[in-house]
Chain A
Amino acid sequence: NAGVTQTPKFRVLKTGQSMTLLCAQDMNHEYMYWYRQDPGMGLRLIHYSVGEGTTAKGEVPDGYNVSRLKKQNFLLGLESAAPSQTSVYFCASSQGPGELFFGEGSRLTVL
């Protein structure tokens, strides 16, 4: 099993450009999450989903949108990238209570 797979692994954008990060999980998990990791700030929840077709805001949702059209996929979109969105993005999934399974991370740089 691949677990949680994120694409792309690295991306450089110019301010104002748009992009989508794709997260795919093959564990049939109901819950999926997008976190961003910045130095000294831990992991902050951007958006999450408790099932196919659902999405909800986390701690830092501004500037991001998400969609969960299929149970195994959770997409994170940046409509107009800003330098403040330079970060490492982690997708995770879980089957309700308990352990989060993280992807390998996607490093995004916005110039």
Chain B
Amino acid sequence: GENVEQHPSTLSVQEGDSAVIKCTYSDSASNYFPWYKQELGKRPQLIIDIRSNVGEKKDQRIAVTLNKTAKHFSLHITETQPEDSAVYFCAATVNDYKLSFGAGTTVTVRA
């Protein structure tokens, strides 16, 4: 099955700086790569996703890039704010509905 590795496991950034989280996947047939955000004590929620026919996607301060050749994808958060503090999970899937998640990155934004 698909194996997703996520780095770093924790990330501390100064408010206003950028944060980057990287994930690698094992199955070259994977074609859908979502990112979920989980605030403390809450449920995971989708924040952005990308499909294998696209190299980059942006939504305001967040962006995701995909390198199919290297089998890795990254989440970029610019101008970080306190409300960006959360656990972020990357995921990958071959068949669109059976997601394999990374272990998560705990992001802390320092004021």
Contacts and interface: CB of A to CB of B under 8 A. Distances in A.
Interface of A: 31, 35, 40-45, 48, 50, 58-59, 90, 94, 96-100, 102-105
A40 B103 contact: yes
B48 to A, nearest CB: 11
A98 B36 CA distance: 12
Interface of B: 1, 6, 9, 32, 34, 36, 42-46, 49, 89, 96-104
A2 to B, nearest CB: 13
- Determine chain B's interface SS by DSSP, over half rule: loop
A105 B102 contact: no
A35 B99 CA distance: 10
A42 B99 contact: no
Contact of B96 (A40, A97, A102, A103): A97
Contacts of A41: 103
- Determine chain A's interface SS by DSSP, over half rule: loop
Contacts of A40: 9, 103-104
A20 to B, nearest CB: 20
A97 B44 CA distance: 17
A103 B43 contact: yes
Nearest to A48: B98
A43 B98 contact: no
